[in-house]
Amino acid sequence: MPQASYPYAIGRIRVLENKLLNNDKVERMIEADTPADVLKILAESEYGTGQELASAHDYEKLLAAELRKVYDFIEEVTPDKELTDLFWLQYDVHNLKVLLKARAIGGGDEPLMDTGSIVSDSLKAAVYKGDHSDVPPFVSEVLREIDEKYGERFDPHRIEVALDKAGYKHIFNVLRKKKNAFLQEFFQKRVDLINIKMLLRVKGLGEDAGFLSSMLIPGGTIADELLIKALDEPVDKLVYALRDSEYAQVVALGVRAFERDGSLTVYERLADDFLLHFVKSRSFDPLGFEAIAGYIMAKENEIKLVRLIMVGKINNISTDKIRERLRDVYV
């Protein structure tokens, strides 16, 4: 295999980008009559190679296999595994949330994502046995913190946020060492958008400023004070406060939708599109990490699209409603 380098990785990625789902194929899936018909259209692409499903309702197996294929490819071509691991970290955090919940309720062997940067057995040993020998220091640190603070008491909101905070603390620590300005900016934007969503969620729950303050993730560019102040104000004030920011449209449309129907669906779609477009706009550098990040996000976004369409078809949701929920495509 050629020596891993950015030109080599990006050359391989450019070939695969031509195989991403485009608008025409997505539209055909939306218009398909049944979930099985959606999968037939999907089979025309790279999905499902050698994957036999007993039922269209088993589509998650197909999506998990596709995500694993992306993971294996990126692991093969990346010139900097420490940076690509930052994108897989969300699956490690997901697995930790699953394991801690299972431990709290006495659950069995819960299914875990196999695309994290940490081996599942190592996470299980850390959570169930207190054996931290094969997990990174930030995982060991947050698990000890959770055990000290909550012990036998399972507080899902606070434990999930503790894990998210630990994950982003690790991400920004790595980026300070690596001095990657693009990823620094990307993850700052992601944190900003998460914190705005957290504000809306806390508004919906009717919790106070102290609760919101404990939930916000450090590392973004929006001051905590602005979000905390917005908690007790009409949402118009938040829209006005961020009117000159790059998030103005996401906030204006997403917050209005939240105010109208109490749902974060529109906001989450707009936030995902914002990040996807940001990465895509930077993905033309032939010697940088941007194209690698773009491909990872393009495939994750594509998998979300397929999942939304399949859920819609299985639940007999109208094509118009399915369209409203879909993210943009990368190509």
Asked whether residue 173 carries a pLDDT value surpassing 80, the answer given is yes
Q: Could you tell me if residue 288 is left (phi over 0), alpha (psi between -120 and 50 degrees) or otherwise beta?
A: beta
Asked whether residue 46 carries a pLDDT value surpassing 70, the answer given is yes
The length of the chain, given as a count of residues: 331
For position 81, what pLDDT does the model report? 95
* Minimum mean pLDDT range among 25-34, 45-54, 109-118, 319-328: 45-54
For position 3, what pLDDT does the model report? 56
In the chain, what percentage of residues exceed pLDDT 90? 74
Gyration radius of the chain over CA positions: 21
Judge contact between 253 and 239, C-beta under 8 A. Answer: no
> Could you give the CA distance from residue 77 to residue 8 in angstroms, rounded to a whole number?
7
Judge contact between 88 and 117, C-beta under 8 A. Answer: yes
Nearest to 182 by CA among 2, 6, 51, 1: 6
Output the CA torsion 52→57→59→60 (10° steps): -120
For position 110, what pLDDT does the model report? 76
In the predicted model, what is the mean pLDDT of residues 226-234?
Answer: 94
- At residue 282, the 3 state secondary structure works out as coil
Tokens for 208, please give them: 């106070």
> Could you give the CA distance from residue 206 to residue 204 in angstroms, rounded to a whole number?
5
Tens digits of residue pLDDT in 265-317: 899 999 999 999 999 999 888 888 999 999 999 999 999 999 999 999 999 99
For position 4, what pLDDT does the model report? 74
Mean pLDDT of the residues in the chain: 91
> Could you give the CA distance from residue 183 to residue 283 in angstroms, rounded to a whole number?
12
Of all helices (H) and strands (E), which one includes residue 243?
Answer: none
For position 55, what pLDDT does the model report? 82
Amino acid at 297: M
Residue found by looking up tokens 């218009």 in the block: 31
For position 328, what pLDDT does the model report? 73
**pTM (two decimals):** 0.92
For position 1, what pLDDT does the model report? 45
Q: Which CATH number fits domain 82-179: 1.20.120, 3.40.120, 1.20.1690, 1.20.1540?
A: 1.20.1690
* Minimum mean pLDDT range among 53-62, 157-166, 274-283: 53-62
In the predicted model, what is the mean pLDDT of residues 171-198?
Answer: 96
Amino acid at 127: V
Tens digits of residue pLDDT in 96-118: 999 999 988 887 677 899 999 99
Nearest to 12 by CA among 55, 57, 66, 72: 72
For position 278, what pLDDT does the model report? 95
Report the first-to-last Cα separation within the chain, whole angstroms: 28
Query: In the chain, where does DSSP find H-type helix?
Result: 6-17, 23-31, 35-42, 59-77, 81-105, 120-129, 137-150, 156-178, 181-205, 209-215, 224-231, 235-241, 248-261, 265-281, 290-314, 319-325
Asked whether residue 87 carries a pLDDT value surpassing 70, the answer given is yes
Judge contact between 131 and 120, C-beta under 8 A. Answer: no
In the predicted model, what is the mean pLDDT of residues 252-264?
Answer: 91
Nearest to 283 by CA among 73, 89, 14: 14
Burial letters 88-110, b for 16+ CB under 10 A, else e? bbbbbbbbbebbbebeeeeeeee
Contacts 24+ apart (CB under 8 A), 149-156: 152/104, 154/100, 154/101, 154/104, 154/105, 156/101
Top pLDDT among 49 and 134 is at 134
Q: CA geometry: angle at 309 spanning 303 and 313, to 5°?
A: 145
34 φ, ψ (degrees, to nearest 5): -135, 165
Neighbours of 179 (CB within 10 A): 8
